[in-house]
Amino acid sequence: MADVLLEVKDLKKYFKTRKGMLHAVDGVSFTIERGRTLGIVGESGCGKSTTGRSILRLIEPTSGTVLLEGKDITKLSKSEMRKMRQEMQIIFQDPFSSLDPRMTVNQLIREPIVLNNILTDKEAIDKRVLELMETVGLAERLYNAYPHELDGGRRQRIGIARALAVNPKFIVCDEPVSALDVSIQAQILNILKELQEKFGLTYIFITHDLSVVYYFADDIAVMYLGQLVEKAPADELFANPVHPYTQALLSAIPSTDLDNKTERIILKGEITSPINLPDACRFAKRCNYACEDCKCSDPKLVEISPGHFVACHHPLVQEA
Amino acid sequence: MSMFKKFSKKQTAAATHDPATFDGEYVLNVENLNVRFETDDATVYAVNGIDLKLKKKQTLGLVGETGAGKTTTVLSLLNLVPDPPGVVSADRIEVNGREVTKMSAAELQTMRGKEISMIFQDPMTSLNPVMTVGDQIAESILLHENVDKKTAAKLAGDMLETVGIPAERGSEYPHQFSGGMKQRVVIAIALACHPNILIADEPTTALDVTIQAQVLELMNGLKEKYQTSMVMITHDLGIVAETCDEVAVMYAGRIVEKGTLEDVFRRTKHPYTEGLFNSLPKMNDRSSKLTPIPGLVPDPTVIPEGCAFAERCPYAKESCFTKHPENRWVSDTHMVVCDAYDDPDFHIKRGR
């Protein structure tokens, strides 16, 4: 039996709006094994960030269970949850707005250690702050610097150090490199990979950048309008995508390879409103293969080959 | 709406220049462009001696990191660099053969939108939130074409159809549109008067990949249809590969390498360009480790004595820190600014 760290079952998050119920996350289920990375990709508004936050209960899920090492965290009380957060952390997208501008690097990294009573001895805390700065590659001279003095890459390193400060097992990385230039993006991705190897961390890596997720994740889940439409190991998903949406998404990546120009699949229209959804395939309106079935029933996620799941009435399986 | 009248009067005063009659080789010709921003604290040297030439119907990709001076360079083509604090100097900034820096306000007004148009990065903020999209397109048409309001509204509707939006949605406001549709509206405004030069400043950065694919396809189609020359600013090398004929790589306010798409992508010469390619996750090899460019972009308030990239360059020699590298043409089309090539045996690792 695989060593499952996190299991999410039928997670739902609905928001009440004036026009009706907004299905931000609608029945998402998956498991992640210890030390692995699950990439979640999809367009803006597909519910990938809401999924990440609901798992940590930064947003209360409407229903569903989240098991961390077999323990259902959705049933925990506030104080129990607070303790549990030491096990599970998040790194946010925007290093410009997720740090308090009036706190120095030292104070920012110290805060989670003190608040969670990880260490109480002042000297030990000082030592730990410096150690964390070194782990994420922040020079010691920046100890008293403020976030506005630093570039995006360094700010994101502070975000990582803050997450690591409580020795978590599991980190949700919510678009951690989207705001950064490519050369800096590579630095941060390398750090995250090194830390994973060093501390045996398990990641959920949320992004809209498919080339980054391919490089970074072991398994990839594709989301569309609050649902998982396809999930497979990274190589399998890129080599053999079977959901029409995944295929279109992959073909839309601009490639730097001048020799290998693949045919673009241009999708008609745009993502539909997630409010008051009918019982139909949510992608049907943009799908080139949609038929009557797709308009009257919502496909379920099924396993078509070991580890490869898809929710589609007409998966585009290549005949062997 | 009275502002339209005011402008159209001015327009008749200014000499109208039809880009269609321009028969020079280069629609854009910039030589030795320098832009600095003088603030109380320091002077920021944003652009330091750039030469740019753009041929008819060609697309030039301007690539580089945040702060490389890409946007400042194109803003000076439209004479839009805020002054103060911006100070622009150049031997030549010619649009369709006419010097931009010598133009009167009225001449600039006619040039912008009619000869050269710009698409900005963020469609959410570049549209007027209290004006219908149809009126915003018509505004540009009324300004440049000798037509009445009714015709302008009709032309605006046609333009919306061209970018794939039903004409009747012209009476709606920007907040009723999604991000991809807003960017199409911005494109419709930019192309409404059929300028022969289009400048796109990261036109798809704020959009999702599938929508990005739609918008790029639309832009490529319209470029063909209207025979437009284009400058595409982007940091995404994939987009460059798919849309550009020529590429200029910028670093710290200078062009460090330029050439045809093939020159720069297949026969990469500059260590910085190599660094950019190495930073990208490879789509065919998942296990390879990313090689980021070490260090950070230099402080733009200091003009370095030598090569601006030397500090981050894996090939830097001692002389790189003291002597500014010269423009070096390795073929008729391909230029690199790197003194490592003093050594005839020098080559970078990429492509070997």
Q: Check: CB of residue B334 under 8 Å from CB of residue B260.
A: yes
Q: CB–CB of B241 and A267 under 8 A?
A: no
Average pLDDT, stretch A121-149?
92
Domain boundaries, chain B: 2-244, 250-342
Count up the domains in chain A and report the number: 1
Average pLDDT along chain B: 87
User: What number is the average pLDDT over the span B97-120?
Assistant: 90
Q: What is the pLDDT of residues B125-183, one digit of tens each?
A: 889 999 999 999 999 999 888 899 999 999 999 999 888 888 889 999 998 888 888 88
User: Is A47 a domain residue?
Assistant: yes
pLDDT, residue A318, reads: 66
Asked, for residue A15, whether it belongs to a domain, the answer is: yes
The stretch B287-301 carries a mean pLDDT of 82
A71 belongs to a structural domain? yes
Range from A9-18, A100-109, A128-137, B20-29 carrying the lowest mean pLDDT: B20-29
Query: B210 vs A151: CB contact, 8 Å cut-off?
Result: no
Q: For residues B295 and A132, what is the distance between their CA atoms, to the nearest angstrom?
A: 20
Between A38-42, A224-228, B118-122, the lowest mean confidence (pLDDT) is in B118-122
Q: For residues B44 and B38, what is the distance between their CA atoms, to the nearest angstrom?
A: 6
pTM (predicted TM-score): 0.83
Produce one character per residue of B16-38: b if its CB has 16 or more CB atoms within 10 Å, e if not: ebebeebeeebbbbbeebbbbbe
Q: Which residues of B touch A267 (CB under 8 A)?
A: 210, 213-214
Of B178, B217, B281, the CB nearest to A214: B281
Query: A207: nearest CA in chain B?
Result: B208
The domain in which residue A211 lies consists of: 4-87+168-242
> How many percent of chain B have pLDDT more than 90?
45
In B, which residues are within 8 Å of A264 by CB distance? 213, 217
Res B17 pLDDT > 70 = no
Distance of residue A151 Cα from the nearest chain B Cα, in angstroms: 9
pLDDT given at position B151:
94
Homologous superfamily in CATH for domain B2-244: P-loop containing nucleotide triphosphate hydrolases (3.40.50.300)
User: What confidence tens digit (pLDDT) does each residue in B22-60 have?
Assistant: 777 899 999 999 999 998 888 999 999 999 999 999 999
How many other C-beta atoms are found inside a 10 Å radius of the C-beta of residue B260? 18
Asked whether residue A155 is domain-assigned, the answer is: no
Across the interface, of B213, B261, B290, the residue whose CB is closest to A190 is B290
Alpha helices in chain B (DSSP H): 2-13, 70-77, 105-114, 133-144, 149-162, 179-191, 209-226, 237-243, 261-266, 271-279
Averaged pLDDT for residues B118-128: 85
What letter represents residue B343's amino acid?
A: D
Which stretches of chain B sit within 8 Å of chain A by CB?
65-66, 178-181, 208-214, 216-217, 235-242, 261-262, 265-266, 275-283, 286, 289-293, 296-297
Q: Is the pLDDT of residue B16 over 80?
A: no
- pLDDT tens-digit series, residues A170-226: 999 998 888 788 888 888 999 999 999 999 999 999 998 888 899 999 999 999 999
A182, A249, A271: residue with CB nearest B209: A249
pLDDT digits (tens, 9 = 90+) for B215-248: 888 888 888 888 899 999 988 898 999 899 999 9
**Looking at residue A12, which CATH number applies to its domain?**
3.40.50.300
ipTM of the modeled complex: 0.78
Q: A170-195 burial string, b = 16+ CB within 10 Å, else e? A: bbbbbbbbebbbbbbbbbbbebbbeb
Closest CB from A183, A214, A257 relative to B292: A183
Search chain A and give the residue with CA nearest B312. A183
Q: By CA distance, what is A212's nearest residue in B?
A: B281
Work out the minimum CA distance from B194 to partner chain A, whole angstroms. 26
Note whether residue A179 is domain-resident.
Answer: yes
- State residue B313's pLDDT score: 92
Contact residues, chain A to chain B, C-beta under 8 Å: 43-44, 151, 153, 181-187, 189-190, 193, 208, 210-212, 214-216, 234-235, 238, 248-249, 251-258, 264, 266-267, 270-271
What's at A317, amino acid-wise?
A: V
Task: For residue A45, give the chain B residue with the closest CA.
Answer: B208
Per-chain mean pLDDT for chain A: 89
Above pLDDT 70, what percent of chain B?
93
Q: What pLDDT is recorded for position B20?
A: 59
Quote the pLDDT of residue A179: 77
**Which of B65, B213, B290 is nearest residue A252 as measured by Cβ atoms?**
B213
Give the model's pLDDT for residue B1.
Answer: 44
Closest residue on chain B to A210 (Cα): B209
| The predicted structure's pLDDT at residue A319 | 52
Among chain B residues, the shortest Cα distance to A151 is held by: B296
Residues of B in contact with A39 (CB under 8 A): none
Q: In the prediction, which pLDDT does B6 show?
A: 47
Verify whether the Cβ–Cβ distance A270 to B262 is below 8 Å.
no
Where does A165-276 have alpha helices with state H?
182-199, 210-216, 234-239, 244-251
Top pLDDT among B281 and B251 is at B251
Nearest to B209 among A186, A208, A256 (CB): A208
Question: CA torsion, points B291, B297, B303, B308, in degrees to nearest 10?
Answer: 10
Residues of B in contact with A145 (CB under 8 A): none
